[in-house]
Structure 1
Amino acid sequence: MSAPEPTVEQIRALLDTHIAEYPDFPSPGVLFRDITPLLRDAAAMRSVIRYWTTLIPEDVEYVVGTEARGFVLGAPLAYEIGAGFIPVRKAGKLPGSPASLRYDLEYGSAEIQIPENSLPAGARTLIVDDLLATGGTAAATVELTRRFDAEVLGASFLIELEGLGGRDQLPEVPLSTVWSIAN
């Protein structure tokens, strides 16, 4: 007999006690949220992943996770729903001729890549990462995924920092978050 699905209240309480906060990191005025306490607690992580599966579309074929915490969370999520996993890497980490996209961030620019031939045309995908803040990386990941002629069914995040404009960067993408925090 399997355990009952965790409730929203249980998940919020669990995350409240399993996300560490570090003020002024990596720079003054930033409150860094660290998921390491969640990752080291197997039962808590299992509960979060099980709850998370209730928030995403049912017909996802591939979870597309952004380096690095999107790997850590996206892979078990993909496993749980029976989907493949596609890593989105920082530039220079993949052999061959990966698909690349350079984009601007609030404090500079970045480049992400997906391995060549990763997604078949028409693949039904879900973008996954740990945090939605300003939305730059998520929007770039959506755009890069679409270059494969893949269908982006949605984007899903463990944490959303409300008020930083992340949702505004993804106006046509259905979004879900496990835990939204007023910032």
Structure 2
Amino acid sequence: MRASPSGTPRHIFGDEEESIVILSREVELAIQSLKMEVKSDNFFHKEGTRMKGISAYFMVLAVLSVTIGMTWGIQMSASHNHILSPAHAHLNLIGWVTMSIFAFYYHLVPGAQDGILPKLHLTVAVLGLITIVPGIVMAIRESGETLAKAGSMLTLLSMLLFLAVVLKSVRARA
């Protein structure tokens, strides 16, 4: 018999039912400990961990995008109509993945949020996302490609602005 990290005896070899009871008690203790930690204000808001400024805006946009994207995906699945899946994919990839990466970068490199360039980056990224997705829908429905092209150019410009922010941050740290 060995003691577990919580001090509860644990049977390595022995009665299976007793081992399950002991294991379930350990899991219960771990969950209670985690609940106590989560209830404290320090769990989510430890010094320096709260997203602020540009990073918070990008993260909210990312979560909003994935929520809309998942809902849209469920609707497509339920209707068995996947004709708009390219627009759905762009919403998830640009909206969720790319915006999350931007959020985490700005959060992990707080100095990168300084100046006008990050604000311009956020503005162009938002405009690109809200233009490209309906533009792709219009292109699929053969209602015109102008909005999709404009959204593509704005999204590319957003990435170029991000490149400038990253390069500026790298030079500042060197």
Q: Give the TM-score band, short-chain normalised.
A: under 0.3
Answer with 1 or 2: which has the greater Rg: 2
Going by fraction, where is helix more abundant, 1 or 2? 2
**TM-score normalised by the chain length of structure 1:** 0.22
